[in-house]
């Protein structure tokens, strides 16, 4: 607890909240205390200082103290606020979904480049979570049709809330299921498959900041022993749903670009390349599906010739 409250003004409450967060090792303590109090009061952070003599009600003080305690226990600020900004959109978030990261905006930008020149593109966002990628692309490309696939029912509820709040329900269709399972009825129909899948090695997760390791959904983080379990499945499954010259784009972990490029080439992708994030880390990989080239390669084998290629 912050302690017995005698001064009920905004500056006093912010000061006590800041001290509590600093003691918990939170570097941006003052700013986060401001966000929490502004959220409770329904104002912008700057408005907190317009009336410094304003006395706050006991229920507001109690809620603020509770949120400070939860943040000091390293619950993510975004879960306490209930939202995060992503690619110019304000998205609802909850403990059912990963907090959207600035790095993932780079994946959205690459996706928009790929879709440029395709008048009415169709794409799938695998493991959509909060719907961040799907909503960002649909918002930027009003003619795009987006299939947002998610296995978690809790995450689907959050994504549905965001799709409806942003007025995108007519163009972002939410599908419940595991990766390509909900897409089996539409083979060869997509211009793009995009995904920010779990890509962290299992052993790494306990060493992550407590906001991540204790609070974010492990299923959205854990990519198996080498971090590539889900990535491999996406590479193997994408050709079945992509049009010729359709693209696969994925966010990936460190040192995964090389192995994934080899896997993609073996599946028939061309033009494979990795891109770096703002920290200089190879964070994204993409490639173009070349169905014709793959068919010709298959016809060069004796087995394929026997099948009449």
pLDDT digits (tens, 9 = 90+) for 93-147: 999 999 999 999 999 999 999 999 899 999 999 999 999 999 999 999 999 999 9
Percent pLDDT > 90 in the chain is 88
How would you list the strands of the sheet with 282-289, edge to edge?
Answer: 172-176, 145-150, 122-126, 190-195, 242-251, 282-289, 269-276
For the beta carbon of residue 237, count every other beta carbon within 10 angstroms.
Answer: 19
Mean pLDDT of the 57-83 span = 97
Decide: 148 and 142 in contact? Cβ < 8 Å. Answer: no
Q: What is the mean pLDDT of the chain?
A: 92
Mean pLDDT of the 42-46 span = 92
CA angle at residue 131 from 286 to 280, to 5 degrees? 40
Residue 308 confidence (pLDDT):
32
Is the pLDDT score of 301 beyond 70? no
Is the pLDDT score of 293 beyond 70? no
Angle between helical axes of 153-165 and 132-140 (0-180°, round to 10): 20
Options 1.10.8, 2.60.40, 3.40.720, 3.40.50; CATH for 10-73 is 1.10.8
Tokens of 6: 């005698």
Domain extent listing, the chain? 10-73, 83-297
Is the pLDDT score of 295 beyond 60? no
Is the pLDDT score of 251 beyond 70? yes
- In order, the DSSP letters of the chain are --------BHHHHHHHHHHHHHHTT-TTHHHHHHHHHHHHHTS-GGGGGS-TTPBPPHHHHHHHHHHHHHHHTT--HHHHHTEEEETTEEEE--TTSPPPPHHHHHHHHHHHHHHTT-SS-EEEEET-TTTHHHHHHHHH-TT-EEEEEES-HHHHHHHHHHHHHTT-TTTEEEEESSTTGGGTTSTT-EEEEEE----B-GGGGGGS-HHHHTTS-GGGTB--TTS-HHHHHHHHHGGGTEEEEEEEEEE--TT-HHHHHHHHHHHTEEEEEEEE-TTS-EEEEEEEE-HHHHHHHHHTSHHHHHTT-
| φ, ψ of residue 274 in degrees (nearest 5) | -110, 155
Q: Which residue in 238, 243, 240, 244 sits closest to 286, CA to CA?
A: 238
The CATH fold of domain 83-297? Rossmann fold (3.40.50)
Within 8 A by CB and 6+ apart from 286, the residues are 110, 114, 247, 248, 249, 250, 271, 272, 273, 274, 275
Count CA within 13 A, CB hemisphere, residue 222.
Answer: 13
Residue 30 confidence (pLDDT):
97
pLDDT digits (tens, 9 = 90+) for 182-222: 999 999 999 999 999 999 999 999 999 999 999 999 999 99
Residue 83 confidence (pLDDT):
97
Is the pLDDT score of 19 beyond 50? yes
């Amino acid at each position: 607890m912050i302690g017995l409250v005698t001064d009920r003004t905004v500056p006093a409450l912010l000061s006590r909240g800041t001290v509590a967060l600093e003691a918990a090792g939170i570097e941006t303590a003052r700013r986060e205390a401001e966000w929490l109090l502004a959220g409770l009061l329904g104002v912008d952070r700057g408005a907190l200082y317009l009336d410094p003599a304003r006395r706050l009600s006991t229920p507001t003080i109690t809620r603020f103290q509770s949120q400070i305690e939860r943040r000091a226990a390293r619950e993510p600020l975004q879960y306490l606020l209930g939202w995060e900004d992503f690619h110019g959109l304000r998205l609802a978030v909850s403990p059912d979904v990963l907090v959207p990261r600035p790095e993932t905006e780079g994946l959205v930008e690459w996706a928009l480049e790929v879709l440029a020149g395709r008048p009415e593109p169709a794409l799938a966002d695998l493991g959509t979570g909060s719907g961040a990628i799907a909503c960002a692309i649909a918002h930027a490309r009003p003619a795009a049709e987006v299939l947002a696939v998610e296995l978690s029912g809790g995450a689907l509820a959050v994504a549905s809330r965001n799709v409806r709040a942003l007025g995108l329900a007519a163009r972002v269709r939410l599908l419940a299921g595991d990766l390509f399972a909900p897409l089996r009825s539409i083979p060869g129909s997509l211009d793009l498959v995009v995904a920010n899948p779990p890509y962290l090695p299992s052993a790494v997760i306990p060493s992550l900041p407590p906001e991540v390791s204790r609070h974010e959904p492990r299923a959205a983080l854990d990519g198996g022993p080498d971090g590539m379990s889900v990535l491999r499945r996406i590479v193997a499954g994408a050709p079945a749903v992509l049009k010729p010259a359709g693209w696969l784009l994925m966010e990936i972990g460190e040192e995964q670009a090389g192995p994934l490029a080899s896997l993609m080439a073996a599946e028939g992708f061309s033009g494979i390349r990795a891109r770096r994030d703002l920290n200089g880390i190879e964070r994204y990989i993409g490639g173009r599906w070349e169905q014709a080239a793959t068919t010709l390669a298959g016809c060069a084998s004796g087995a394929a010739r026997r099948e009449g290629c």
